[in-house]
A = this chain, B = another copy of it.
């Protein structure tokens, strides 16, 4: 005998509102209203419809309803990479709030490439997402693709890596403050010749971290020679290499403040190979609070960016913008948290 599944498991084409209407000898409009608890449908009929819908395993078609309503209850999220702790934490935060409000999220990885970013903006626009949350790619130096989003009257919220050139809602942490506090802390611990690994100047986050570094040094009257600021791409390998070059040039820094944890790690590993005592002879601080920073030895002083909260806020900003008349853009700046760990704590101060 053929195995007979319950009616929930019939295959074939999905059941539509029309099908339900036909069976009940009524019309699609009534069924639609019944299902969504809109008025204009009698008690009895409503129950009848809902019962049948359940029985026939009716699945609402959000594509159709999206087309009709002009809303997709979908959010586009554009990030450089999904598998970076910072970004995946932000995404986790976004997803949480989005889920609570019945939004789905489409994620887009730019791989830090401008043309991918552009292409994804097109895709999201075509998908008629209700909003876009984005963090700039490293290559982004033009913003017309983002302006298109605004012109389409779709809420656009930037987080972390934001364009100075556009007047949109945005949420960042205070990178300047985070860097300033990290460097100040290092100085307080007796480090003096602190070098800095910086990212590209055209990205707000790296520019601000550099400024924070400079301000902290200046506030203590510590000189910053030109070659104490090393721009690289902030990967582990870049950090290791830059550190090597610094030593090869004959410089004798006693600490490093890196705009990225990975680059900090690269330098730290290199210095350990060279038998430098960390934090004794050389202090290291990073930025972002990647998970590994608390597990390595010595644990790495870093700046936490409240990534998950950033994601949550970001989505809340979108929700605010998506209802009613467009409010003026909100600019939120979260306070970073300096996490003082072993890599910057000298046993004896200066």
**A residues bordering B, Cβ < 8 Å?**
8-11, 14, 57, 59-64, 66-67, 72, 74, 81-85, 88-89, 91-92, 95-96, 99, 104-109, 116, 122-123, 125-128, 144, 147-148, 151-153, 265, 269, 290-292, 295-297
Contacts and interface: CB of A to CB of B under 8 A. Distances in A.
A75 to B, nearest CB: 10
Contact of A295 (B57, B63, B85, B265): B265
Q: How many copies does the complex hold?
A: 2
Contacts of A96: 109
Contacts of A60: 126
Given A82-B88, A88-B88, A295-B295, 14 more contacts: A11-B153, A60-B126, A61-B67, A61-B126, A83-B85, A83-B92, A104-B106, A104-B108, A104-B127, A105-B106, A107-B107, A269-B295, A292-B292, A295-B296
B72 A82 contact: no
Contact of A107 (B57, B67, B95, B152): B95
Nearest to A89: B83
A152 B127 CA distance: 23
Given A107-B95, A295-B265, A67 B63 contact: yes
Given A128-B61, A292-B291, A292-B292, A107 B105 contact: yes
